[in-house]
Amino acid sequence: MALTIIGTMAFDAIETPFAKSEKTIGGSGTYCAYAATNFMHSVNQVSIVGGDFPDDVIKDLNGRGVNTEGVEIVQDKKSFFWSGKYHLDMNTRETLVTDLNVLADFNPTLPESYLNTEYLLLGNLVPAVQRSVINQLKARPKLIVLDTMNFWMETAMEDLKEVLKMVDVLVVNDSEARQLAEEYSLVKAAHKILAMGPKFLIVKKGEHGALLFNGQEIFCAPALPLEDVFDPTGAGDAFAGGFVGYLASTGNLSFENMKTAVVMGSVTASFCCEKLGTERLKTLTDQEIQQRAAQFVALTNFTLSCK
């Protein structure tokens, strides 16, 4: 049940109304790996970092079952750096700095030991690189999950459409779904996107939860109403990592289990927001995850026959 994750490993500088950090460990691949290893312990990581990336983070990931053979270290260059500032509503953020650094040359060759992966999570990256990773695999994985963003819709739509034909699940937020489908109604947008290739579409709506579309079926997962959102950075990646990690741990790809996986993704994302960076994802216990999942049941459960 090995899961291969491709994504960035980076430094972030984050400013929220509640927290400020000049140099936090971040990157979509990092968040996905920490999230997924709360559910399973056989992850193959694909990424690129500079000589400045802390070795103890790599060792920490190794200790959680993450194989970092596929993480290229370019000693004389710097790691990818992103800096952002959140507004009071925490749903909108401003990107202050994006220094690609090593990421500018990222063109990964998968290690031999990765080539029979059963689950593949393509973190937000250049669509052509995402496609190259799929093409290197010896056999088609049981499940390919794709994360992407508006930037690639604006700069590499044709490449993105090619990748969409190759994947099982697309994960985007609501504005990205609308942009990709050129449809305001999310239901209409979902039908258009499902016709582009993926069998499942997940639309993340931040504090309003997430929608899962499959054929004519829809599942609506709430987000846990939080007293405070300390730092939402990486919540989307934590969602994707928790979602795929849970699926890989169960090996069940039915729509029913996809619904549970969406809830587990939301559970993971809710923890992610409680502390800065990846901190909270590192200390999570099985019991905490089960308790919070039970809160999601209580949050949405109702009966039609109270008369």
Q: Which residues bind its own copies (CB under 8 A)?
A: 88-90, 184-188, 205, 207-209, 211, 217-222, 225-229, 249-250, 252, 254, 256-257, 259-260, 262-263, 290, 293-294, 297-304, 306-307
Please answer whether residues 226 and 270 qualify as being in contact, where contact means their C-beta atoms are separated by less than 8 angstroms.
Answer: yes
> Quick one: 139 or 225, whose CB is closer to its own copies?
225
Biggest distance spanned by C-alpha atoms of the chain = 71
Backbone φ and ψ of 280, nearest 5° = -70, -35
Tokens 């979602």 found at: 243
Q: How far is the CB of 48 from its own copies (least distance, A)?
A: 35
Q: How far is the CB of 179 from its own copies (least distance, A)?
A: 13
> Quick one: 163 or 261, whose CB is closer to its own copies?
261
What is the DSSP pairing of strand 20-26 with strand 10-15? antiparallel
> Quick one: 135 or 216, whose CB is closer to its own copies?
216
Q: How far is the CB of 277 from its own copies (least distance, A)?
A: 21
> Quick one: 113 or 291, whose CB is closer to its own copies?
291
Distances from the Cα of 133 to the Cα of 62, 140, 228, 263, angstroms: 22, 11, 38, 28
Distances from the Cα of 195 to the Cα of 114, 201, 204, angstroms: 30, 11, 19
Q: How far is the CB of 38 from its own copies (least distance, A)?
A: 15
Burial class (CB in 10 A: 0-12, 13-18, 19+), 231: buried
d(CA 238, CA 145): 14
> Quick one: 50 or 209, whose CB is closer to its own copies?
209
| Residues sharing a CB contact under 8 Å with residue 190, sequence separation 6 or more, in sequence order | 177, 181, 201, 203, 211, 213, 218
Q: How far is the CB of 40 from its own copies (least distance, A)?
A: 12
> Quick one: 139 or 298, whose CB is closer to its own copies?
298
Q: How far is the CB of 222 from its own copies (least distance, A)?
A: 4
